[in-house]
A and B are shown apart, each in its own frame.
Chain A
Amino acid sequence: MDPLALTLIELGAVVFCLGLLARLAGRIGMSPIPLYLVGGLAFGAGGLIKLDGMHEFAHLSGEIGVILLLLMLGLEYTAAELVTGLRRSWQAGVLDLVLNFLPGAGLAVWLGWGLVGAIVMGGVTYISSSGIAAKVITDLGRIGNRETPVVLAILVFEDLTMAIYLPILTAILAGVGFLGGLQTVGIALAVVTFVLMVALKHGHRVSQAVHSENSEVFLLNLLGAALLVAGVASALQVSAAVGAFMLGIAISGATAHSATRILEPLRDLFAAIFFVAFGLNTDPSNIPPVLGWAILLALLTALTKILTGFWAAKRGGIAVPGRFRAGAELIARGEFSIVIAGLAVTSGTVPREIAALATAYVLLMAILGPLAARFVEPVVKAFRKSPRKPKASEPISSLEA
């Protein structure tokens, strides 16, 4: 067959299947990410059907998917929110980092994957999925809850940590030495500080530069700017994804809102292809040997996230049920764990098993997280002695009735 025809047929079939999977995920109320990963596993190396024609396209699209994921993450928060969040919740953020980085890193060392493997796996277990967490909070009607700002503040801190972590990871994966690594960290810190300062003072100018009333012009401006900044960042060894993230932070106000709306469909498409591409590169036969470790890691890091949320909510003066809710909402890992594992795998400097372990781990956590968030409340209530009865003057009535 003509190679172009083959590519088109494969790509069409895969995207169509993704549509079906996303619909299934919506029907049962879960995140589509685990289903995309399973889809990728089924079509990739060692899977049910091997797709070769779309490999090149999937790879490039996956890279664009990562850039869009990070760009949209940056658009979500304004620089002012990031700075106040950092100031108010850095203690919880540091506890989160220590408690959740160490299990992944420790296991990698235990399995003999070396320092690089440890830094990769630490990142995979550290970063919660802000996408899944936000969806869980909205779906469960917890937007008005008192613990919600605590959870959001931790997510903000994690995202800022990513801006430092990703350049370090990129440098280490590129095989630079200790001094080179320090230099990259220095550049990363300087860039992050610089962009935050520019965004705080001159965010509207950056917004003006890309903004347009014409949605076509706006889309092209945005995408062009994102790819350009990502490419330059990549050339400077600061990681393409972080470049896009910083651009997202610099764009603010009304421009950020319309940018989010305009980019969402593109992000959904390219991110879905990214997850599939990651699955394609993972050999499913590698998963069973690491499945036990993945389950152990999942249980351990579910507990450490609960502990993080519990402690942070307690500091915020929130009662016991709210502390557990906060912890459980943080459990889900998803898109960014796969982004980290994907960076590591494409560099080729880490054992292939990392891809398998990360896939199995994210599959578990993306499913376990929302379930835990939903069921933590009844479980906590069942274990605590039944609370006081309401006073007669205080009728209980649901407003939704």
Chain B
Amino acid sequence: MNVDETELPGLGVRKDFITASGRRIGVVEMREGETELFVSTWDDPDTCQASIPLTADEAAALGNLLGGQHIAMRLAEAHKEIPGIATRQFSITADSPFNNQPMGKAQIRTRSGVSIVAIMREGEVVPSPAPDVVLHTGDLLVAVGTQEGLDSAAAILRNG
């Protein structure tokens, strides 16, 4: 992937690339710390159809979504042959009982048979997280298990 970096004097740095469908997509990292997400129009790659200001939290959440989606797709591909196995993503909200708690406290594998294979955090992947990893608001847990197991894992993360 070839990402172009362009200095915007007084504003920040623009990082973008052209997608296979011919759109230019990227972000501007503003001096003050915000991120501006933009997508070019279909008829003029020079201009933007949408330019959306994101706070640091929102940018991290979007990064998790995209990264999590990527991992989930790869996992789904890997488990396609095994019937009954599914992949799902759980996000940790501020009111989750395990927010700011080590993951082992939830005992997800013991109670539901589901494995947490990765955590997406601020756009980065924590692969096969250990039980002592502390969960934070905005973390995205990538889980593999049976449909029933995943349902009960969701209930555990929501209700404790």
Contact = CB atoms under 8 A, between A and B. Distances in A.
Contacts of A3: none
Contact of A152 (B9, B21, B32, B49): B9
A141 B48 contact: yes
Contacts of B14: 143-144, 148-149
B9 A143 contact: no
Contacts of A145: 46-48
A352 interface: no
A384 B39 CA distance: 23
Contacts of A393: 21
Interface string A314-335: 0000110110010000000000
Given A390-B42, A390-B43, A393-B21, A398 B50 contact: yes
Contacts of B39: 399
A133 to B, nearest CB: 10
A147 B16 CA distance: 14
Interface residues on A, range: 35 or more
B77 to A, nearest CB: 23
Contacts of A134: 10-11
A356 to B, nearest CB: 32
Contacts of A146: 24, 45-47
Could you tell me the dominant secondary structure of chain B's interface residues? strand
A285 interface: no
B92 to A, nearest CB: 26
A144 B28 contact: yes
A378 B75 CA distance: 46
Interface in A373-401: 377, 387-388, 390, 393-394, 396, 398-400
Interface stretch (A76-84, A109-117, A218-226): A76-84
Contacts of A130: 10
Given A322-B44, A394-B42, A396-B42, A148 B8 contact: yes
A387 B43 contact: yes
B138 interface: no
Contacts of B149: none
A173 interface: no
Contacts of A319: 44-46
B55 interface: no
Interface in B9-67: 9-11, 14, 16, 21-22, 24, 26, 28, 30-32, 36-40, 42-52
B51 A143 contact: yes
Contact of A149 (B8, B32, B37, B38): B8
A396 B23 CA distance: 11
Contact of B50 (A141, A153, A257, A318): A141
Nearest to A257: B31
Contact of A81 (B7, B24, B38, B40): B7
Q: Which 3 A-B pairs have the closest CB atoms?
A: A144-B38, A141-B51, A322-B46
24 contacts: A76-B9, A81-B7, A142-B51, A143-B14, A143-B38, A143-B51, A146-B47, A147-B46, A148-B8, A149-B6, A152-B11, A153-B9, A155-B9, A156-B9, A257-B32, A319-B44, A321-B44, A322-B47, A387-B43, A394-B22, A394-B42, A399-B39, A399-B50, A400-B50
Given A143-B36, A148-B14, A398-B50, 6 more contacts: A76-B9, A81-B10, A144-B26, A321-B47, A377-B47, A394-B22
Interface of B: 6-11, 14, 16, 21-22, 24, 26, 28, 30-32, 36-40, 42-52
